Amino acid sequence: MRNPFKSKAWTDPNGTVQLIKRLFSENFRTYIPKYLLAFVFMAMIAATTAASAWIMRDVVNEVFVNKDLTMVYVIAAAVLVIFSLKGASTFGQMVVLARVGNSIVADLQRRMFDHLIRQDQTYFDRMSLAEITVRVGQGVSAAKTTMDLIIVTIGRDVLTLIGLTFVMVVQNPFLSAFALITMPPAVVGVSILVRRVKLYVKRQVVSSAKISATMQESVLGVRIVKAFGMEPAMRGRMEIGVLEVQKQSNKIASLTARTSPLMDTLGGIAIALVIFYGGYSVIELDQDPGALFSFITALLLAYDPARRLARLNVNLGKQIVGLRLMYELVDREPALKDADDATDLDVSSGKMEFRDVVFSYGESAALRGASFTAEAGKMTALVGPSGAGKSTVFSLVERFYDPNSGQILIDDSQINSVKIASLRSQIAYVGQESFLFNVSVRENIAVGKPNASQAEIEAAAISANAHEFITNLPEGYDSKVGEAGNNLSGGQRQRIAIARAMLRDAPILLLDEATSALDAESEAKIQTALEKLMEDRTTLVIAHRLSTVRHAHQIHVMDEGKVVESGTHDELFDHDGIYRRLCELQFQNRKNAAA
């Protein structure tokens, strides 16, 4: 005979049983004392609920049949005590479980963020922000809801049912059998609903991600949306996503709600049979009316916990999808990480070398055997048409990706043999569009050196020609820059980014046309500051405006993922190649623009 506990439903690591088992094994032990306290409160709820049914026997027999006034006072006092204890226990259970649940949510949020921030660049290339947001948000929410459902079901509903069943069996064992005949049909009916609920929940998650993606693109690209009159198109996309979510939500609500008529009908059958036989036994067989009334009370009180138990599997089915999304992220190990024997990078000179490096973004080749050297303490420029692989070089130097083949060396050490954190600590980067965090100006500059003093921060800002405009902000260095730096102009954001790189004071400097967002006057001042910053540092520059790299010690011209020309400006210009054609094209464009 096949063992049901070895079936795929029980052993599948992504199945309901194993996911719930894992969730509890990772979170339950830490909070055992608090859960035990919650179980004590829930046991009190179960006991008082059973007692409220049990006492109905004395209410009927002593008050209505025997008309004993003394017992009226006793029973009334007992009822007051029972319900007061139940109310206090319910309060205690809710508070304890809420605090535990909030702690678990906080722990999971920290854990998921830690795993998320450790992921390699490939993960973020593949996953949209909307999908990540849905995965994190729904995952944490599902974990808390799942634990609450199971804990409350076991601690309150199961114990309450046990207590009420005890009352029913003691009062009338024969009638208890009638009440149990509805269980098998309920179990079969609910299991069918669970399978369908899981299907629609999966679809709902996908549709929710589409809504988040549309919202994100509309907000981040609001200028393009308005400039090109894309409002109707974006509304159309949002409408499709909203209707899909609405449709799936309605299906889920309908399926979940079907447990109510199922349980109501079956419960009604059981209660009708009990009343029919119980009434007959009291009238015709002269049995105890108080016992019957107590039994019926227990049966009615058992209805709500029984219904919650019947719906447990349906409700868990809705949460398992989010739980699975959470663990998919938690279990994903970054493809790019430190080698077991990785050491700290000790930069002595800063010489950088690419040896026959090949790299592809999926099936799209970006570098096809690129080889070049950036000499220590000198300025090396990378030029070439768009798509030549210049930005990919920067990404590989900072080890956001590993090459498919070839070697990248700094001071003769392969960068994949050193610790990633130590590699990046030796590099300062300024891009064309520098990202700023939604914190103060001071904190954005201090990203380059978190423990920097105010004097160091101001010195970096002065060197980057940023101090003057910063002091004119409403709160000076404490002014918030807004989301992605939207409270500042493009030139101001760029100067803060340059100040950040200056403060870092790293031996290797990566500049991706760092002065492109500045006006002519600021650019001249920043260029002077950058020249000072580049002294005795290995500087790799991506140049789009060739006039900015005329004085580079070495220029490497890239085309189709390879270095096809190398030399100084004069050497390359004298050679009738790609560099000369690029210079002539830019000169002609400027001449036409001036005309």
Q: Which helix (H) or strand (E) holds 567?
A: strand 562-567
Using only C-alpha atoms, what is the Rg of the chain?
35
Which among 195, 202, 203, 198 is positioned nearest to 243, based on CA atoms? Answer: 203
User: Three-state SS across 389-441?
Assistant: CHHHHHHHHCCCCCCCEEEEEECCEEHHHECHHHHHHCEEEECCCCCCCCCEH
Per-residue pLDDT in tens (0 to 9) along the chain, 595 residues: 445 545 555 566 667 778 888 888 888 888 889 999 999 999 999 898 888 888 877 777 776 677 777 877 888 888 888 889 988 998 999 899 988 988 888 888 888 888 888 888 888 888 877 778 878 888 888 888 888 888 888 788 888 888 888 888 888 777 777 666 655 555 555 555 556 665 666 666 666 667 777 776 776 676 667 666 777 877 887 788 778 777 777 776 666 666 556 655 665 666 666 666 666 665 666 666 777 777 777 777 877 787 777 777 777 777 887 888 888 888 888 888 888 888 888 888 889 999 999 999 877 889 999 999 999 988 999 998 888 889 899 999 999 999 999 999 999 889 999 998 899 889 988 887 778 888 899 999 998 788 889 999 999 888 888 888 899 998 999 999 887 777 888 778 888 888 888 888 889 999 887 666 566 666 676 677 677 777 778 999 988 777 778 888 899 999 989 999 999 988 888 887 888 888 888 766 544 444 4
Q: What's the pLDDT at 183?
A: 54
- List, for residues 372-401, the tens digit of each pLDDT value: 999 998 899 999 888 888 989 999 999 999
- List, for residues 399-442, the tens digit of each pLDDT value: 999 999 999 999 988 999 999 889 988 998 888 777 888 889 99
DSSP designation for 44:
H
Token pair 């006092």 in the structure block, residue: 77
**Sign of CA pseudo-dihedral 80, 83, 89, 91:** negative
Q: Give 362-375 as a DSSP string.
A: TTEEEEEEEEEEE-
What is the set of domains in the chain, with CATH numbers? 15-331 (1.20.1560.10), 344-426+536-595 (3.40.50.300)
Residues shown for the chain: 595
Q: What's the pLDDT at 194?
A: 57
Which among 169, 158, 142 is positioned nearest to 316, based on CA atoms? Answer: 142
- Around Cβ 261, how many Cβ atoms within 10 Å? 10
pTM over 0.75: no
Q: Decide: 89 and 44 in contact? Cβ < 8 Å.
A: yes
Distance between CA atoms of residues 260 and 267, nearest Å: 10
3-state secondary structure of 511: strand
Distance between CA atoms of residues 556 and 564, nearest Å: 8
Q: What's the pLDDT at 365?
A: 86
Q: What's the pLDDT at 324?
A: 84
